[in-house]
A and B are shown apart, each in its own frame.
Chain A
Amino acid sequence: MSDSPIERRPEEQLTPLACIVALLVVLLTAGCGGVNQAQPSKAPETGATPGGAAAVEPGGRPTTLPSSHPTGKSVTKTASPTAKASAKLPASPAHTEPLGKKVSAAPAAEKQQASAPLDLASLETRLKETKAIGLFTKIALKNQVDDLLNEFRAYYQGSLKTTLAQLRQRYDLLLLKVLSLLQDSDQSLATAVGASREAIWGILADPKKFAAI
């Protein structure tokens, strides 16, 4: 009779202890797992890899993290960065996507500029017909365009002491004026003018092409 209680005690004491230890191990590993997965989640914040965002999606980890709360403060502290990371997650794909779009859009814009069919006649017609600029302003702009063309003519004839860089500045300024007048009320024309900027300059800066205007 006295032996049996002694033999049973270790078993009875071990089983709850084993359960607690096993639970602690499980919780600790779960906590560590959460910490390890939080680190890759930082990658998308920097916009390094879009794949990171997919890896973070299992950041449905918040569901596992609450179970780690009872393990201790250290786990909860590690959990908070993951929570912050998961809170920032919706922003990170948004950051990465536009960046990607910008990267892909920039060469596209360059291609457009390079291959933009320059139709000066249609641009002129559109500028004449646009309702974004008033009549007086159109006349004033035409005056300034004529002045600039006269300067180019004089420059190529050698009668005007100026540099091509200075003429470029005046050209840019004039184009900015036109764009500022158009951008609010006639965005499509403003875009067309902006896209033709380099092409028009290509004509102005080339004496042969300029002479053919």
Chain B
Amino acid sequence: MSKHVGNWAPILMAALFAAPSLAADDVPLNKDLTAVIALQGLPCGQVVSVKQQGDRDYIASCQDGNRYHVFVNAAGRVVAQKQ
């Protein structure tokens, strides 16, 4: 048993330490779009699902049922349009 544990221990340790670092690397898109919609002062709660339409162009579905078209326009502004 101890040999098995010894073999798995490094992998387990690596997995434990790798997971938080991967999570911390990038903000999840859901969270990013949630923050964007909140910054615009629009009701949403949390973004529960995202559908990509193009480069920097998404449809975000919110917890409260609202849907927003979030994209960066030609002027470089982030726009959240209610659908």
A interface list, Cβ under 8 A from B: 131-137, 139-141, 143-144, 177, 181, 185
List the A side residues contacting B31 at CB < 8 Å. 134
- Say which residue of A131, A133, A139, A185 sits within 8 Å of B78 (CB atoms): A139
- Say which residue of B24, B27, B40, B76 sits within 8 Å of A134 (CB atoms): B27
Cβ contacts B41-78/A at 8 Å (1 or 0 each): 00000000000000010000000000000101000111
Known A139-B72, A139-B76, A139-B78; judge A134-B29 contact (CB<8 A): yes
Interface pair B36/A136, CB less than 8 Å apart: yes
Interface pair A181/B35, CB less than 8 Å apart: yes
Interface pair A185/B36, CB less than 8 Å apart: no
Interface pair A136/B76, CB less than 8 Å apart: no
Interface pair A131/B35, CB less than 8 Å apart: no
* A173–B77 alpha-carbon span in the complex (Å): 19
* A129–B40 alpha-carbon span in the complex (Å): 22
Interface pair B70/A136, CB less than 8 Å apart: yes
Question: What is the CB-to-nearest-CB distance from A164 to chain B, in angstroms, rounded to a whole number?
Answer: 23
Interface pair A134/B35, CB less than 8 Å apart: yes
Interface pair A131/B25, CB less than 8 Å apart: yes
Interface pair B36/A137, CB less than 8 Å apart: yes
B39 at the interface (CB under 8 A from A): yes
Interface pair B35/A137, CB less than 8 Å apart: yes
A-B contact pairs, 9 of them (CB 8 A): A131-B26, A132-B27, A134-B32, A136-B33, A136-B36, A136-B72, A136-B78, A140-B36, A185-B24
* Number of B residues, CB within 8 Å of A: 19
List the A side residues contacting B32 at CB < 8 Å. 133-137
* Chain A contact surface mostly: helix
Of the listed residues B25, B70, B78, the one surrounded by the most CB atoms of chain A closer than 10 A to its CB is B78
Known A132-B27, A137-B27; judge A143-B77 contact (CB<8 A): yes
Q: Tally A-B pairs: CB < 8 A.
A: 48
* A177–B36 alpha-carbon span in the complex (Å): 11
- Say which residue of A131, A132, A140 sits within 8 Å of B39 (CB atoms): A140
User: Can you name the residue of chain A whose Cβ is closest to the Cβ of B58?
Assistant: A136
List the B side residues contacting A177 at CB < 8 Å. 39
User: Can you name the residue of chain B whose Cβ is closest to the Cβ of A130?
Assistant: B27
Of the listed residues A133, A136, A137, A143, the one surrounded by the most CB atoms of chain B closer than 10 A to its CB is A136
List the A side residues contacting B29 at CB < 8 Å. 134
Known A143-B77, A143-B78; judge A133-B27 contact (CB<8 A): yes
Question: What is the CB-to-nearest-CB distance from A140 to chain B, in angstroms, rounded to a whole number?
Answer: 4
Interface pair A133/B24, CB less than 8 Å apart: no
Interface pair A131/B27, CB less than 8 Å apart: yes
Question: What is the CB-to-nearest-CB distance from B74 to chain A, in angstroms, rounded to a whole number?
Answer: 13
Given contacts A134-B35, A139-B76, A143-B76, 9 further A-B contacts (CB under 8 A): A131-B26, A133-B27, A134-B28, A137-B35, A139-B77, A140-B35, A140-B78, A143-B78, A185-B24
